Structure 1
Amino acid sequence: MAGEVQNDIWPLPKFYFSVQLGDDTSVSFQEVDGLETETQVIEYRHGNNPSFFPIKMPGLGKVGNVKMRKGIFINDARFWDWYNEIKMNTIARRTVIISLLDEQGAPKMTWTLNNAWPTKLSGTDLKSEGNEVAVESLEVAFETLVVAAP
């Protein structure tokens, strides 16, 4: 129909996203980085193969850590509380869901980090002559990454 805009021919902008940490409510982050997975390559050549090139087969999967940054708010220490659970040897693993949203706020692409736990927590740098927002960063390790387009 004339005048209709097809929303599936343009890529989604990357600035409208949400992050859900376990059963907690959605947390607003400024930046999420490290959504990647890879498969190791196993090279194999049979002893009597006339070709001098190995066969390449998929091996074990590997995921990296995801780093998230957000502004520091008054009375908001939930990341420090989660990180401190490591010291008591009772790591609370959570499912982290990162969703890329459309204009209406509906998820169009989701990355699910299974069995995630905080591996690094960084506070902000402090400068007396600056006027930037205080930003903390949380790095989480996880076991598997599931990517879906709901």
Structure 2
Amino acid sequence: MATKRSNPYSNFNFIVEADGIGEIGAFSEVSGLDSENTPIEYREGMDAVNAPRKLPGIEKYSNVSLKRGITGSLAMWEWRRQVRDASATAPPSKTVRVKLVNENHDVGAPAMTWVLHGAWPTKITGPSLNAKGNDIAIEQVDLVVERLDIE
């Protein structure tokens, strides 16, 4: 349940969970929590105003990108394999929750939760490996989302 307060929450305390998997892992970045309606312009011949009305059209959701350092967990790769190996029917989708945690790290009472319905991994990008560097090996998972809600 979202809690109203004067000071904004920090964006670095969050966890990601999926039905059937539980806590997927510690991600360093989540992006694409977007929802939009494409406007439909409509005008009748008898309209007095010489401008079209704008009505809400189809609702669209961006792919949600999750980035994390590689930890050896194969949960996302296994889910991606299930999608890849699925028959012509619908892919094995899940409900995914992105929970923004407060400063007390109270996972049981998140500050806000984004619920991704009908989510499934459309793409996994492995790390860029470089023997000259000292960066963390980062993988990225892109989830297709059928609906986005907030709890």
Q: TM-score, normalised by structure 2?
A: 0.88
Aligned counterpart in structure 2 of residue 121 of structure 1, from 105, 108, 124: 124
1:100 aligns with 2:100: yes
Larger Rg: 1
Query: For the aligned residues, what is the CA RMSD?
Result: 1.4
| Cα-to-partner distance string for 1:13-49 (whole Å, 9 max, x where unaligned) | 1110111022322221110011000011011111122
Residue 146 of structure 1: aligned partner:
149
Instruction: Work out the CA distance in 1 between the residues paired with 2:99 and 2:146.
Output: 18
Partner secondary structure for residue 87 of structure 1: helix
Query: Which ranges of structure 1 fall in alignment gaps of 5 or more residues?
Result: 1-6
1:86 aligns with 2:89: no
Q: Which runs of 4+ in 1 moved over 2 A?
A: none
Structural mapping, 1:1-150, within 5 Å: 8-26=5-23, 27-74=25-72, 76-90=73-87, 91-104=91-104, 105=106, 106-148=109-151
Among the aligned pairs, what percent are the same residue?
35
Q: Give the drift of 1:59.
A: 1.2
Instruction: Work out the CA distance in 2 between the residues paired with 1:87 and 1:19.
Output: 22
Q: Give the drift of 1:80.
A: 1.4
Q: Give the drift of 1:92.
A: 1.6
Instruction: Work out the CA distance in 2 between the residues paired with 1:92 and 1:126.
Output: 30
Partner secondary structure for residue 10 of structure 1: coil
Partner secondary structure for residue 29 of structure 1: coil
Partner secondary structure for residue 120 of structure 1: strand
Equivalent residue letter for 1:25: G
Equivalent residue letter for 1:49: D
Equivalent residue letter for 1:72: I
Question: Does the CA contact (< 8 Å) of 2:86 and 2:92 recur in 1?
Answer: no
